[in-house]
Every structure is written in structure tokens, then in C-alpha cells.
Amino acid sequence: MNIQNLIAFKVKEGFLRLYQIEIPTVEFQATRKEFEGDITVVVFPLLKYKKGNPAEIGENLGKYLSENVPEIKKYNVVQGFLNLVIDDVFYINFFNSIFTNSTFGFEIPKENDKAIMVEYSSPNTNKPLHLGHVRNNLLGFSVAEIIKASGKKVYKTQIINDRGIHICKSMLAWKLFGNGETPQSTGLKGDKLVGNYYVKFDQEYKKQIAELISKGTSEEEAKTTTPILSEAQQMLRNWENGEEEVVALWKKMNQWVYDGFEVTYKNLGVDFDKLYYESDTYLLGKDVIAEGIEKGVFYKKEDGSVWCDLTDEGLDEKIVLRSDGTAVYMTQDIGTAIQRVKDLKDVGGMVYTVGNEQDYHFQVLFLILKKLGFDWAKNLFHLSYGMVDLPSGKMKSREGTVVDADDLMIEMTETAKIISEELGKLEGYLEVKKNELFKTIGLGALKYFILKVDPKKRILFDPKSSVDFQGNTGPFIQYTYARIQSIIRKVTFDYSLEIKELELHEKEKDLIKQLALFPETVQQAAANYSPAIIANYTYDLVKEFNSFYQNVSILGEENHEKKVFRIQISKKVADVIKQSFSLLGINVPERM
């Protein structure tokens, strides 16, 4: 329903007919509550093209529109504002066109369109996922779903950081102190078990530093010469040389972590189409550097190191190859991006979900890829996001003070249980159904709290305030959905009848207008890579429905056609809530 486009066209046509002047744009605003009307044309900007009394110009345009646009029932002019009343039949016809459309608001990808690859999660295999990963996963997954709904093919991916000194630290600590324990023998998830040894390494490392300092070594020297760090560095060299025993241990412990991650991803409700591993990609990019030198994109210094000069773009010089010929992270990222397009020929752009501390890195990466002449490089986006803080303070992995993702999900489910039981809404529920519901509410609260905020903003996450059945929260929206399902369950007659004519209540019209915004909201959220746009649209829709619910009778309405139409509107609102929440990765309960 885009009545606005039709009116804009007719205003331009009318201005040309009335004043022989072409105008480029028409400005609209919502009609103020104290005036009659559905849409308002702002006349003041038109005075740039035609001097005169704004009320008189508004009157002339209003007369022209009412004679030439059948959808306009009447009009009124208040100073420089032309308020237009749209015929109820227009809204009813629009509603009928969307009522049975189960994919309303979602576009289907076009045959030859390029795909977008969305990267998120990308964890290290030396520790479990934590609260920061939760925001990353929720953002990346949601943006992928929104881009898909906007009509593009999407590949969800992650690059797993499965090599490096941090991995060897966990491996060495397990070898020294693990006594052969496994996830099976301890009953611990594999990622938690490996994470414990990462913490154990740090504890032992600090102990050895203290011992060296007590023997007269300076703190700076002690930090680089502890036996345990030297052993970890040797282990990394052995891994890079393919030493059988080290590689076998690496494979075994990494598999423990992958199995643990799989459980967390499933509980969080996120998935991936393709996985990349840093152990496979860390040597990529070197061949591109050689080609880049020939093209003049890179230059070699006297010591043999290779650089890219970005000073003309307001940045600095960036190293892409060390003097000994080894790669840096930038080299790997250049090579990995190119490899992804080789692997999936239809990829025409990528979204990287990575914290804002990497803003500069991605600015440089995208610029280098453009300089190398890759056409798809213009379609790269860094989905940069702020940290998640807790009231208790900052998290540190190596000290074991992170908020574990699994523990957080359990806590959210428990919080939902406590609050739901306090409200006493679950009498007669079977225990298993209650537990499912607590999980749906708890995870819905967590996801909505994180996704309703603009990704760039830092979040202070308070589990208890997120599980609130009032205000801009996941549970409030879930409760409204469940309320509508309760209404529909009470219907004892066929409500599929198509209503052709009806005098609409103002609240019915407001709801239809809000529903009509859904398709453009999906497109806007995709264009801005922002789940917050979807979240806040859904909250506005729910507020509009609750106002409708409080002001009109639904099942108690005596006029059968009005009753049918109100049930239909309620059903469509529930459908759109469910669709919106699916884009955020949130489930909605049928009962609450």
C-alpha cells in the first residue's frame, strides 16, 4: 500500500496544471491527532516554487486531489498543512490483499542476483563462548535473516580461530596438569574443559613470573622467559612443522571445543552454511601480495617487508608481509576474502560482524581489496558493534571472569521462571510445557534486549530488567502475541469471509497503517544492517494493537462483519509479530 507515492505524483501533476510549475519533491507528515485526516501534505516547502498564501495553495491542491484521486474522501487545510482523509475502502482493500499472504513483507531472491556472505561468531578454540560472543552471534544471525527477507541470497559463515599461541597454551596446560581427563570423564562440555586449562595456564604463568622476580629477574624479562611460555611457543613451532603428536593433541582438543560450541549454537538458535578454519587460511594471501607489488598497490622496503601506502586516503602505511616473508592478519584476511568468492561464485558482497575495536582494520582491508581491483570489494561492510557490560564489571577470559554464554542462557531461563511464577499466569500448565515456555521467554528477553539497541552502541545488560512483561521488552511482545492466540482460540465460527465495505474505527485504521509499514521496514533494516529497526517496529505494532484492544470490542462486537474484520486484523498482527521475531531469532509462545 503506497498511497503516499500516488498522492505525491498527483500533487506534482496538480501543481503543474494549476501553476504551470514542475516541483521535484513533495513533503509529507502524519496528520496531527487534533485534525481530521490520514496523511498530510506540507505546503510550506512549495512556496519556494510559487509565492503566495500557503492556505490558498493548500485549498487549490486539496480540491484538485479530491477530484482526481478516488481514494481521497475529503480534505481540510490548516494554515500550511493539507490534511487528506483516505476512504475506508482503500484500507479494507489493502488489508484483504495481505491477509492471506503468509510471506507478507518478505521478498524472494531474484534468479541472477549476487549473494551476500555474513560472517559472525568466529571464536577461538581455547575457551567457551561468552556474553560478547552472544551479541556477535545474535547480530550476525539476525542481519543475515533480514538481508534474506529483503530478497537476497545469503550465506552464513564463520572463521574459527583454531591455531596460534593461545590454542597452544590450553593444550600445554592440559598436557602438564590434565591427567588425561576428557569431557566424558569429567561430565564437562568440551569447550569449558579446554577453557579451564587456558585459565590454568595463566595461573601457572603468573606463578612462574613471581618466582623469577623473587630471584632478581626484572618483571619485563620475567614475562618473556618463563619456562611455561617458552614451552607453549615451542609447541606452536612443532604444530607449524606438522609434528604428529602435537597435531593429534590439537585435533583432539579442538574437537572437544567444536562439540561444545555446537550445543551452545543450538541453544542460542543460530546456524551456519559454511565454516572456515584459520589453520587452513593462515597462509592465504601471500600470492596476492606478489601480484599487488606488480600492480603498484604494494611496495617493498629495503628490509624485504611489504607495505601498502594509504596516506592519500587519510590513513597510514600498512604492513602486509614481514621481512622474513611471514604473513600478518591483514594478509590472511585479504586471502580469505578472495578465497570465499572463489569457493562461492555468486558471492557479491560480505558483512563482517566484529567488535568496534577492529574498525580501523576493516577500513584498511576494504580499501586494499578495492585497490587490488576486485569489483565485489565495494559491497563489503563491517557490522561494528559496542561491548556488552554487566553491572558487575568487565570480563577477562584468561582470568576466568567471563560471563559464559551457556550459564547466561540458564540464568535467563531461571529469571523468566521466577518472574512468571510471581505473576501467577501458568496455572494448569504441565511441568515440561512450563520449562519450554521459561526458555522461550528467557531467551526472547535476552535476544530482544541486545537487538533492540543500535549495534554501534555499548550495552549495559541487566538480566532481570530484560525479563519484564511491560515496556519495550521481548516478553511484553511475546505476551501480546499469546493474547491474540487466546482470542483466536475462542472463535467458534469461520472468519475467512472477505469484508468488502465497512466503516472503520480509527484504531482499526491505525493498525492497518502500521501493518503497511512492515515491507519497507524490512528493506530499511537490511539497508542499514540493523535488527534494532525490526525490534522497534514490532514494539510500535504491539503498542498499536494494545491500544486497539483497549478501545474496541473484538469477540463482544454485535455486528458480525465488524467482529470478523477485527479477528482478521488481530490474526494478521500476530502473524507479523511472529515474522518480525523470526528475523531476530526469537520464538513466540502460543500461550503465556
Q: Confidence class of residue 401 from pLDDT cuts 50, 70 and 90?
A: low
State mean pLDDT over 283-287: 90
pLDDT average, residue stretch 449-457: 94
State the greatest distance between any 2 C-alpha atoms of the chain, in Å, as a whole number.
96
Examine the pLDDT at 395 and tell me if it is beyond 70.
no
If you average pLDDT over every residue of the chain, what do you get? 93
pTM here is: 0.90
Instruction: Provide the angle, in degrees to the nearest 10, between the axes of the packed helices 165-177 and 190-214.
Output: 90
Q: Let me know: does 320 contact 308? Beta carbons within 8 Å.
A: yes
**CB proximity list for 468: less than 8 A, separation 6 or greater:** 419, 445, 475, 476
Q: Which residue has the higher pLDDT, 465 or 47?
A: 47
> What's the pLDDT band for 399 if we cut at 50, 70, 90?
very low
Pick the CATH number of 3-86 from 2.70.98.70, 3.40.50.300, 3.40.462.10, 3.30.1360.70: 3.30.1360.70
Q: Is residue 1 over pLDDT 70?
A: no
Q: What per-residue confidence (pLDDT) applies to 349?
A: 97
Residue 352: the pLDDT is 98
Contact assessment for residue 481 and residue 574, using Cβ atoms and an 8 Å cutoff: yes
| In the chain, ranges of CATH 1.10.730.10 domains | 406-583
What span, in angstroms and rounded, lies between the C-alpha atoms of 570 and 587?
19
pLDDT tens readout for residues 552-589: 999 999 999 999 999 999 999 999 999 999 999 999 99
Whole-angstrom distance, CA of residue 228 vs CA of residue 224:
10
* CB-based contact 367:337 (threshold 8 Å): no
Percentage of the chain surpassing pLDDT 90?
A: 85
Q: Does residue 91 surpass a pLDDT of 90?
A: yes
**Does residue 257 register a pLDDT over 70?**
yes
Residue 85 in this model has a pLDDT that exceeds 60: yes
Percent of the chain having pLDDT more than 70? 97
Residue 291 has pLDDT above 60, yes or no: yes
With cell 598497490, the residue in question is 297
Confidence of residue 398 (pLDDT cuts 50, 70, 90): very low
CA distance 455 to 384: 7
Q: Of 65-79, 301-315, 380-394, give the lowest mean pLDDT range.
A: 380-394
Q: Residue 58 above 50 pLDDT?
A: yes
CATH number of 406-583: 1.10.730.10
Instruction: Read off the pLDDT band of 397 (50, 70, 90).
Output: very low
Q: Is 37 left (phi over 0), alpha (psi -120 to 50) or beta?
A: left
When pLDDT is cut at 50, 70 and 90, the band that residue 30 belongs to is: confident
pLDDT of residue 400: 46
| Distance (Å) of CA 492 to CA 328, 421, 487, 562, 571 | 68, 31, 11, 15, 15
**Alpha carbon 158 to chain centroid distance?**
15
pLDDT of residue 372 exceeding 80: yes
Q: In the predicted model, what is the mean pLDDT of residues 23-49?
A: 93
Q: Is the CB of residue 575 less than 8 Å from the CB of residue 488?
A: no
CB 425 within 8 A of CB 438: no
pLDDT confidence of residue 325:
87
List where CATH 3.30.1360.70 sits in the chain: 3-86
Which H or E run contains 166?
helix 165-177
In this predicted model, what pLDDT tens digit does every residue of 479-528 receive, in sequence order?
Answer: 999 999 999 999 999 999 899 989 999 999 999 999 999 999 999 999 99
- How far is residue 104 from each of residues 98, 178, 459, 559, 573, measured CA to CA in Å? 6, 55, 32, 28, 11
Q: What is the pLDDT of residue 61?
A: 97
Per-residue model confidence (pLDDT) at position 423: 73
**pLDDT score recorded for residue 331:** 94
Closest CA to 379 of 319, 328, 337: 337
Q: Residue 28 CA to chain centroid, in angstroms?
A: 30
Say yes or no to pLDDT of 592 above 90: no
Q: What is the mean pLDDT of residues 116-127?
A: 95
Phi/psi for 425 (5° steps) reads -95, 0
> What are the helix and strand counts (H, E) for the chain?
22, 14
229 pLDDT more than 70: yes
Task: Report residue 556: phi and psi, to 5°.
Answer: -85, -5
Q: How many residues make up the chain in this entry?
A: 592
Mean pLDDT along residues 195-199: 95
- Residue tagged 503465556 (cell numbers): 592
Confidence band for 425, pLDDT divided at 50, 70 and 90: low
**Do residues 468 and 475 lie in contact, with contact meaning Cβ atoms separated by under 8 Å?**
yes
> In this predicted structure, what is the pLDDT of residue 201?
96
The pLDDT tens digits for 319-341 are: 999 999 888 999 999 999 999 99
Q: Distance between alpha carbon 223 and the CA centroid of its chain, in Å?
A: 40
pLDDT computed for residue 512 by the predictor:
95
Residues with Cβ < 8 Å from 205, sequence gap 6 or more?
A: 226, 228, 229
Question: Is pLDDT of 311 > 90?
Answer: yes
Residues 7-35: what's their mean pLDDT? 94
Residue 283 in 3-state DSSP? coil
- Position with higher pLDDT, 417 vs 578: 578
